[in-house]
Structure 1
């Protein structure tokens, strides 16, 4: 009688259900380098080649994914964003991990312990101290730069406000570091008319950074364009926008000039002269300006769409943004995307574009929208980007890959990115590659694709690395 043996957790064949999937991953996907064309890594830490005193500093500081899980498990805020010691915070995370079963954090946590630390123990209260000490012993050899080299990262594109000095990027370039670290232009604050007080403060900063007087809309655009030009000089090849939805309301420029003048008026705090329609028109106008500048320079524009941010007002007030209080939104996407991309395309000013979707209900919307504007000029000119934020897990990645496969060409896909602030998040590329190879491997063994391992392996390598290398010109 044959006895079935359960697979070992996190073995070399983790997530690879068939022999063909295993061949595709180990022989084709695994050896490929990484292009991280969108992330939130701090460039100052790369410039300084930061060393970390504890695994907590590397792993838990700023990680709102883990904070959300800890809070749900009943862990006090002191151990998330508060003043608890590094050991105490790690201990509370280790207490939480066994209860994250079937959440992607369970997989990510153990993948990141295995690579780069070589630790295969399951993290729990019983193993917390030994894991903590073993990681800390290796940290002197795992600085920010050493981690990038360890994961064979070739290019990193950070996310930077137009007013950032980019001094750290300049320092990295002068140091002859083997990994190319480039800025990406993220002008969200430059169009955020929702908060006139914050917007006026931003305009004042634009004045100071560019040393230009800003009294009119034309002045403002000229100043921002000078920053766009500066980013290009520093090697920037991508812009990025984090929006609820793409704004594409109709407007005439004289309306925008009036809206801009009203924005600059010194109204009392809390007052606003702008209607919701005014705000949408201003954002629509600014998006077009940024898109046309990107087209002039041959950049790729990225749109991260669908997040409903800062839901917990009390915690926003106490802790600030990006501390774990965001969720998936249900904003309308299709009509405005069609107007925005269609208007640019009609004027021959649509640059390469990547659309990232946060609401899985809109996957097919995005997968079909890109086909409307792929005009043969560039392979995969308009892309349906990888599973993002709440969707960069097994189910989310599979749904994105299946929607793109069914309604577009997954063979042209530029693949995975980290979208992370952590230098150990490159394990997510391994996660993605295993999932990708498992999908192709299952199709081959089910007779849905020919058993041509070399050809399918080339497609896998394209998605893992070569498509991005060609698409971005790296």
Structure 2
């Protein structure tokens, strides 16, 4: 009987098979946005069991299990690793048409060579088989990345991080670049009760006393430069919408002073402060040729009971319906006016905003690097087959798909890299179907080049990662 996931999985036509197998399949991977714990890479961790590696921290799986009515003790609770895995295996037959079904079996096959369909009847056997492999050096975190031909991984890191683990990895001469990404939530969230304590951390890291907006921005830029020296070439912002209020530095100073005095800020003051800081950060990024990622639109931590019990990233977030277009346009324009708009990637979690983001990206091109403003990959609730196809169709209709920088995992799991393969198969199928319908010419050499650019070369050119740039110059 034919395997469920065979070599032509998701490839519906001969043209799609040609594009995938001859042009996309063997390309290396740049995973330019993820949430992998960098300490695990620095220590080359071996996970104790498949549950620890595969289920812990994966809120996609948690949501599915909760939907099926599985008690929380088997999801994030104190049940054993084997019990949790068995409950996941119990869930799998009910995930038909959810991307988890495809991802689960793709990951079992690519990492462990398992072609069986996971179910309660074979759960214990698969659990033990995988665990026996995980105990070997070949299944350490670094070797898991090597197995998938990864060239670059960009983690997500707080500005206060001293980047000790990134430095350790670089000193080890690990051939895969593990680079930090600047995620300044703590700097932006002035409304937080922890903001003043966080500023003390930044003071300690920089040696700069933060007493005015000028000293605050000096300290922020010092952290940006620290990240740059450690290979960082991207920032990342998780926002409901882009703040873009009018501001002056005097206003920003007054708001900061008020916060330092432990006075309550109103909603307008918070927005003005965030707007000003985003503008200054954009300038810092542009100066260093960084790429700025804007992840827009989710409502986070909606279930306060689960938040209190489990903390953030518990799997209780959803798609938001915030107005995006006007403030985003104003923010991008404010930086473009002074020629300080960095390369920018716009991600939307609300599918209704696909066309908004794709059309917005086209407003700030021209006399710039190829594809300077990107409509970023289908994200979070949209990174399944249907969402990926809709995203690719949107950027094809409203921009140039040939300039797209491709897929990322956005994951905390070391088994998520096959999502790049999943994307590549969907991409090749889309082009292959167009060829079969004679909506595109059967020019495989040229279309194959476009496929390869989207899967790898565009990202390499766009982000200008230090070691890849060095290798290119040597060649």
TM norm structure 2: 0.96
Deviations 1:385-444 (A, max 9, x none): 000111111011011100000000000000001111111101100100000000000000
For the residues of structure 1 that align with 2:37 and 2:328, how far apart are their CA atoms?
A: 31
Query: Cα deviation per residue 1:30-60 (whole Å; 9 max; x = unaligned)?
Result: 0100001111111111110000110111101
Aligned to 1:116: 111
Matched, 1:223 2:219: yes
Alignment partner, residue 390 of structure 1 = 381
CA contact under 8 A between 2:107 and 2:418: conserved in structure 1?
Answer: yes
In the alignment, structure 1 residue 248 sits paired with structure 2 residue 239: no
Q: CA deviation at 1:169?
A: 0.4
Equivalent position of 1:49 in the other structure: 44
1:236 matched residue in structure 2: 232
Q: Which residue matches 1:401?
A: 392
Of the three residues 402, 406, 416, the one matched with 1:425 is 416
Q: Deviations over 1:128-186 (max 9, x none)?
A: 01111111121112110001100000011111000001000000001011101111111
CA 1:407 to 1:127, structure 2 compared with 1: closer, same or farther past 3 Å? same
Query: Which of 456, 461, 469 pairs up with 2:452?
Result: 461
Aligned residue among 92, 100, 104 for 2:95: 100
Give the corresponding residue for 2:24. 29
Is 2:181 the counterpart of 1:190? no
SS in 2 for 1:248: coil
How many pairs does the alignment contain? 463
The aligned runs of 1:330-409 (5 Å cut-off) are 330-409=321-400
Separation in 2, partners of 1:441, 1:89:
40
Partner of 1:170: 167
CA shift, 1:262, in A, is 1.1
Deviations along 1:42-97, whole A, 9 cap, x unmatched?
Answer: 11111100001101111011101101111111111111111111111101100111
Question: 2:425 is matched with which residue?
Answer: 434
TM-score between the two structures when normalised by the length of structure 1:
0.96
Distance in 1 of aligned mates of 2:158 and 2:34: 13
Q: Structure 1: how far apart are the matches of 2:19 and 2:189?
A: 45
Answer yes or no: is 1:306 the counterpart of 2:302.
no
Residue 8 of structure 1: CA displacement? 5.1
Task: Please report how far the alpha carbon of residue 212 of structure 1 lies from its aligned counterpart in structure 2 after TM superposition.
Answer: 2.5
Deviation at 1:7?
7.4
In 2, the alpha carbon distance for the partners of 1:205 and 1:173 equals: 25
| Structure 2 spans left out of the alignment, 5+ residues | 466-475
CA offsets per residue over residues 356-406 of structure 1, 9 Å max, x none? 110000000000000000113200000000001111110110111000000
Give 1:69's aligned residue.
64
Are the equivalent residues in 1 in contact too, given 2:34–2:153 (CA < 8 A)? yes
Q: Distance in 2 between matches of 1:138 and 1:48?
A: 18
Q: Secondary structure at the match of 1:277?
A: helix
Alignment pair present for 1:181 and 2:178:
yes
Corresponding residue number in structure 1 for 2:140:
143
Q: Distance in 2 between matches of 1:201 and 1:244?
A: 24
- Please report the RMSD computed on the Cα atoms of aligned residues, expressed in angstroms: 1.1
- In structure 1, the partner of 2:468 is none
Q: Is the 8 Å Cα contact of residues 3 and 115 (structure 2) preserved in structure 1?
A: no
Judge conservation of contact 2:405–2:459 (CA < 8 Å) in 1. yes
1:193 CA drift (Å): 2.1
* Structure 2: distance between partners of 1:253 and 1:105: 48
In structure 2, C-alpha distance between the alignment counterparts of 1:340 and 1:185, rounded to whole Å: 19
Distance 1:231 1:447 in 2: 48
How far the C-alpha of 1:266 sits from its partner, in A, is 2.8
Greater CA deviation, 409-418 or 248-257?
A: 248-257
Mapped to 2, the partners of 1:346 and 1:227 lie a distance apart of 25
CA distance in structure 2 between the partners assigned to 1:7 and 1:352 by the alignment: 45
- Which residue matches 1:3? none
8 Å Cα contact 2:213-2:249 kept in structure 1: no
CA contact (8 A) 2:406 2:455 kept: yes
Could you tell me which runs of 5 or more consecutive residues in structure 1 were left unpaired when the two chains were aligned: 1-5, 268-272
